[in-house]
Structure 1
Amino acid sequence: MGFSAEWLSLREPADRAARDEALARQAAMAAGPNPLVVDLGCGTGATWRALAPYFPSEARWRFIDNDPALLAEAGRVAGGNADLVEADLGQMNTVPLDGASLVTASALLDLMPEAWVANLAGRLNVPFYATLNYDGRMSWDPEHQDDAAVTAAFNLHQVGDKGIGPALGPHSVTRTMALFEAAGFTVLRADSAWVLGPDMAPLQRELTDGIAQAAAEAGARDTAASWGGHRHARADRTQCRIGHIDILALPSGNLQESTHVLR
């Protein structure tokens, strides 16, 4: 399970535009005055680039990823403000969360199994801010007769095993909220849908190519192939909306304390 630096760079402007700013500010406030932010699956540091303006300049980060090349790039852009940890997120019990005052993740939860999220909720007694979680909704303007069928096949593919167990896919938001609420957190949510116009045609093409491939693997081969060709050819004349949700899970107690602990 992993993503190329090229894909992460291509999607970052859409991610930045989609993030809910009010929830981001609330996450930064919840981290307290001397934050240590642990970013799970940091990639090239997109979460740092999006959130750093909300934190004091002395805020510390711990970037965690299983790809050393992505980690190196994240460390380069963050300078001396981040520690780099190469770790397998699938082995959650070994991921270092000690000292964290905020744990973050972007476009990650829909790839993870429910047991992984339950483990995380059980370990944390600090705020958890997870953004850009795919929620199963997709639409295009103009429409195509196979949009619904391809979306259904893609969503089926998304709950397959990504290497560590069946993924939550489009159910990641509802299940994560329920698991963190059961662990005593108050969970807030905000819409963070991608809205991609013709000006983002390169991203649309990469996105719909990937959707078509996944839908084909889920059994809609002929439909997905014709749909994917149609969407690729018309990306510069199309607007699409891909549903995402940001969530912020807040533990009980004083969220402004500078020292936080793990359960």
Structure 2
Amino acid sequence: MTPGFSPDWLALREKADAAARAAELVEPLLAVLPPGPLVIHDLGCGTGSMARWLAPLLPRAQRWVLHDRDPVLLAHAAKSVPVPVETRAGDLTRLRAADLAGASLVTASALLDLLTADEVEALADACTGAGCPALLTLSVAGEVELSPAEPLDLRFAAAFDDHQRRTVDGRTLLGPDAVRVATEAFVRRGAVVHSRRSPWRLGPGELFREWLRGWVEAACEQQPQLRPYAAGYLSRRLGSEAVVGHVDLLAIGGAPCSPDSGPGSG
């Protein structure tokens, strides 16, 4: 997996994440949850923002199993989530259905775009193999709209999208292709997939400034020829507004693929 995020950044974005997540997916989720107390596995939990958002919307007893590779984030989450929790440190790309045994629901936030195609296939196998729905929120959509617009926006956006698809330690990340790949993976396993847009809507302020700086820096890392324009672009853009596209997915039902039924079979 790629490196995690700092608690400060996760705290800064939590309110925007909560406002963006597609709350309309909760109703179809409630319709398929099993009776009785819930066991919810949250993958890449960070500081626990998904649990803080979703737990109050699930009107019954629940226990969350928080997965992350970063023990610092897990410790923070364990102290701040308002329901009983268990923490598990480890590599999410190695999760299998057996690791999710007994799960009522699998959740994740801002995770899919950090995975490879094979890792998304394995995730779909794990969720369908465990027989539970998956609510996968805030995957980047490759859509950024700054206003007022200017010509350099498209160059920085394209470079950023390419950076999201970069290869890291032999892993080619999906970036804005993640929603399509995950949808196809779950549908291939017979799941019904609901999708809703969940954009950030950012105005001038600390979150916008930090997001913009990171967005521009990633674009320049991918295309160094943009670097001479970066300082002026940032200066002009800090008073702008932005809509940053994300998509939420809810996958229900299905069964794991057989070894010979993956994307390259047939």
1:136 matched to 2:139? The reply is: no
Match of 1:203 among 204, 207, 230: 207
TM-score norm. by structure 1 comes to 0.88
1:208, 1:232 within 8 Å by CA — same for their partners in 2? no
Percent identical: 37
Q: Secondary structure at the match of 1:90?
A: helix
Deviations 1:117-147 (A, max 9, x none): 1011122221011000001011101112210
| Count of aligned pairs between the two proteins | 251
Q: Secondary structure at the match of 1:131?
A: strand
1:150, 1:224 within 8 Å by CA — same for their partners in 2? no
Match of 1:53 among 45, 56, 64: 56
Unpaired stretches in structure 2, ≥5 consecutive residues: 259-266
Shift of residue 57 of structure 1? Answer: 4.6
Alignment of 1:35-46 (within 5 A): 35-46=38-49
Partner of 1:75: 78
Match of 1:19 among 7, 16, 21: 21
Match of 1:84 among 87, 92, 102: 87
Partner of 2:10: 8
Partner of 2:263: none
Shift of residue 163 of structure 1? Answer: 4.5
Partner of 2:112: 109
1:88, 1:95 within 8 Å by CA — same for their partners in 2? no
Alignment of 1:181-192 (within 5 A): 181-192=187-198
Partner of 1:100: 103
Provide the rounded CA distance (Å) in 2 between the counterparts of 1:170 and 1:222: 22
Q: Secondary structure at the match of 1:135?
A: strand
Unpaired stretches in structure 1, ≥5 consecutive residues: 254-260
Provide the rounded CA distance (Å) in 1 between the counterparts of 2:106 and 2:22: 17
TM-score norm. by structure 2 comes to 0.87
Shift of residue 95 of structure 1? Answer: 8.0
Provide the rounded CA distance (Å) in 1 between the counterparts of 2:83 and 2:4: 25
Q: Secondary structure at the match of 2:81?
A: helix
Provide the rounded CA distance (Å) in 1 between the counterparts of 2:98 and 2:177: 24
1:25, 1:54 within 8 Å by CA — same for their partners in 2? no
1:243 matched to 2:245? The reply is: yes
Moved more, 88-97 or 39-48: 88-97
2:66, 2:74 within 8 Å by CA — same for their partners in 1? yes
2:38, 2:60 within 8 Å by CA — same for their partners in 1? no
Shift of residue 116 of structure 1? Answer: 0.6
Provide the rounded CA distance (Å) in 1 between the counterparts of 2:222 and 2:21: 30
With over 3 angstroms needed to count, the CA separation of the structure-2 counterparts of 1:171 and 1:80, relative to structure 1, is closer
Provide the rounded CA distance (Å) in 1 between the counterparts of 2:212 and 2:249: 26
Q: Secondary structure at the match of 1:149?
A: helix
Provide the rounded CA distance (Å) in 2 between the counterparts of 1:24 and 1:225: 46
Match of 1:230 among 233, 237, 242: 233
Deviations 1:156-204 (A, max 9, x none): 0101134461111101111100110001100000010111012xx2111
With over 3 angstroms needed to count, the CA separation of the structure-2 counterparts of 1:232 and 1:247, relative to structure 1, is farther
Shift of residue 209 of structure 1? Answer: 1.1
Tell me how large the CA RMSD over aligned residues is: 2.2
With over 3 angstroms needed to count, the CA separation of the structure-2 counterparts of 1:118 and 1:252, relative to structure 1, is closer
1:216 matched to 2:198? The reply is: no
Q: Secondary structure at the match of 1:148?
A: helix
1:92, 1:120 within 8 Å by CA — same for their partners in 2? yes
